[in-house]
Amino acid sequence: MFGLDRASRTVRRRAAALAVTAAATAAATALTGAPGAVAAPQPIVGGTTTTTTAYPFVMQITDASQNQFCGGTLVAPTKVVTAAHCMVGETTSSVRVVGGRTYLNGTNGTVSRVSRIWIHPNYTTATRGEDVAVLTLSTAMPYTTAPYVSASDTAVYAAGTTARILGWGTTRSGGSSSNQLRTATVPTVSDSSCAGSYGSSFVAAEMVCAGYSSGGVDTCQGDSGGPLLIGGRLAGITSWGQGCAQAGYPGVYTRLTTFSSLVTAQVTS
Ligand code: 4AZ
């Protein structure tokens, strides 16, 4: 089909290696101040560093050894919204949620076990949609939660609206994860334009696209499950795309307005 990139189990299995590589990369980058040094690539692709102090609701989704493989968003003290594709093959004993930890190689913040994993009942693959999951935490996170859109808020997706992406994902397709949380802004893309990019894999009722037509700024491997914020509210979940930051291929995000009632049922359960 397109050779689409998703945070597959392959990526998850690579997470431990990537986390270690990220620390080594950060150390190497510190040495590149010499004349003639080439600027390091900017992860998320095209982003800037930030912190979980600035974005306290951004969670690392990790394995039991606290190796990050996806992102998530704290929407209530014990509820985290993430992508369904991040939870494929996972169990309540295989995952952890880590809050308040800006660096992948940090040991600070709050680590919680997961007592329940809700995956959208119709989820099959990210390119078919329904890429939403809600985790219930065993330990309440002492961090500010993010508000999320309600079903009637569809105007937030108007083409050209500024959206913020966040994550610890790779700096380019097939590259290394970022040791530090990164963020960038990207404009939302019209449904017709996104359908032009992705054909029938783009399901407008369930997905929304964001990115510059020239590429250069995007989510990438390991950013999946993390937030797309519009007007300070969670409006999308990082889901899939062809490669990362390629011209003509914006990132694809779960259209949260479609699922907000279902999410609320989980958040209040
Ligand atoms: C991933 O594998 C992934 N450029 C996330 C976002 C995009 C591609 C891949 C979109 O987690």
Predicted confidence (pLDDT) per residue in 85-140, tens digit: 999 999 999 999 999 999 999 999 999 999 999 999 999 999 999 999 999 999 99
161 pLDDT higher than 80? yes
List the catalytic residue out of 5, 112, 120, 131.
Answer: 131
| Burial classification of residue 266, based on how many CB atoms lie within 10 Å of its CB (0-12 exposed, 13-18 middle, 19 or more buried) | buried
| Confidence tier at 216 by pLDDT (50, 70, 90) | very high
Question: Distance between terminal CA atoms of the chain?
Answer: 39
List the catalytic residue out of 177, 178, 224, 260.
Answer: 224
pLDDT of residue 4: 54
Please work out, in degrees rounded to the nearest 5, the angle formed at the alpha carbon of residue 235 by the alpha carbons of 41 and 159: 80
Q: How far is CA 79 from CA 32, 82, 134, 137, 227, in A?
A: 41, 10, 7, 6, 14
Of all atoms in ligand 1, which is nearest to the CA of residue 218?
A: 4
- Ligand 1 mutation pick, 240, 249, 252, max ligand atoms within 8 A of CB: 240
16 pLDDT higher than 60? no
Decide if 112 is catalytic: no
pLDDT of residue 36: 35
- Answer yes or no: is the C-beta of 241 below 6 A from any ligand 1 atom: yes
> Which of residues 23 and 183 earns the better pLDDT score?
183
For ligand 1, atom 4, name the residue with the nearest CA.
244
Ligand 1 center from residue 34 Cα (angstroms): 33
What is the reported pTM? 0.87
DSSP secondary structure code for residue 86 in this structure: G
- Answer yes or no: is the C-beta of 221 below 6 A from any ligand 1 atom: yes
Ligand 1 center from residue 218 Cα (angstroms): 8
pLDDT of residue 171: 86
Decide if 85 is catalytic: yes
pLDDT of residue 17: 28
The answer for residues whose C-beta is within 8 angstroms of residue 196's C-beta and 6 or more apart is: none
